[in-house]
Amino acid sequence: MTGLIRAVINGHALRANLRLLRQLAPGRRVMAVVKANAYGHGLVPTAVALADADAFAVARIEEATLLRAAGVRTPIVLLEGVFDAAQLAEAAHHDLELVVHDPLQIALLAAARSPHRFVVWLKIDTGMNRLGFRPEQFAHALAQLRQLGPQLRELRLLTHLARADERDAPQTAEQLARFAALTAGQGLVTSIANSAAVLGCPAAHGDWIRPGLALYGVSPIAGESAASLGLQPAMSLRTQVISTRHVPVGETVGYGGTWQARRPTRLAIVAAGYGDGLPRNLRESTPVLIGGEPLPLVGRVSMDMLAVDVTAARSPVQVGGDVLLWGAGLPVETVADCAGTVPYELLCGISQRVPLALEESHFDAG
């Protein structure tokens, strides 16, 4: 792999996280969420690494067709469904499963003349107020879908939890109660649990779990580390030192001169910036691992570079030295907190110019 900055993906960690989630939800099937380029980890290689998943979930049809073109034959669920007859035909061609959350989507199925029989997931809005049929609309939507008869291979039910990342949030219990009341006696397969609910709310496991963030080794629960949950980070965002320099007392660093040297300072200039997807607002003192040692970021992140104060480094820092921006040893959760954001945004925000280093040695049978 040439180039400086790269995202190294560990397939063993992906599979270990999948095994852990299965153990936490015994007997349930796993719909691995790989939308948004597998949270920045690479859509196709992640699906290959997670070949033991029972299904994959994507947001949009373009993601599903990329998987099919790569030879992935595992069931694929379109979490947002389809929105016109052409998309419905394409979904039939690729044998995709559909989430139905709007009357338009029921009408599209009713008007279809294709012999294809879909697996349909009817989505109930139990309190997220984003997608899905509200409780008072559910019975009518369910009846309409059942009237399609042989056009459906199977009808299933799902909902989405708004605050499962907060272990004691009362809204989760309220949502589960609504879902249970609506679905009781229907005899249909269910899916409720996202990553946080898989880890922290066994009552939400249903028949299918839908982990996303946890698959990638990142904690989905507020205030709890991935390590404490038994998760292994799958991505290491790595780069190199491209320059070192001495800064006299009183001089500033970077755009705007926001950081000023209070002592004779040695800096390492690192090949990484907001052009690679790092937040420009990373606060000073954000840890960066150089040679395995945490050292503080100083000054503003620029498009291609950032500066790290290496004055107190225990080992000499030289051009070409290895730099870890997040990964094993420096959780992405820590970096996200320093940017005032969530890990999802960092992982999904990695720029297209950052290559994925899919090192074959990582994709072992473990």
Asked if residue 208 lies in contact with residue 154, where contact means CB atoms within 8 angstroms, the answer is no
User: One-letter amino acid identity for 216?
Assistant: Y
Backbone angles phi, psi at 220, to 5 degrees: -95, 5
- 274 noted as active-site residue: no
Residue reference for tokens 């922290």: 200
Structure tokens at 125: 């809005």
Give the separation between CA 298 and CA 311, rounded to whole angstroms: 12
- Select which of 39, 123, 216, 255 is catalytic: 255
Give the separation between CA 94 and CA 316, rounded to whole angstroms: 55
Q: Parallel, antiparallel, or unpaired: how do β-strands 6-9 and 356-357 relate?
A: parallel
Asked if residue 18 lies in contact with residue 28, where contact means CB atoms within 8 angstroms, the answer is no
Give the separation between CA 157 and CA 105, rounded to whole angstroms: 15
Structure tokens at 41: 């980890």
Angle between helices 103-111 and 135-146 (to 10 degrees): 10
- 123 noted as active-site residue: no
Backbone angles phi, psi at 236, to 5 degrees: -120, 115
- Select which of 35, 39, 123, 344 is catalytic: 35
Give the separation between CA 211 and CA 42, rounded to whole angstroms: 16
Residue 156 Ramachandran class (φ > 0 left, ψ -120 to 50 alpha, else beta): beta
| Selection from 90, 34, 84, 40 nearest residue 63 by Cα | 34
Backbone angles phi, psi at 360, to 5 degrees: -60, -30
Which residue numbers are catalytic? 35, 255
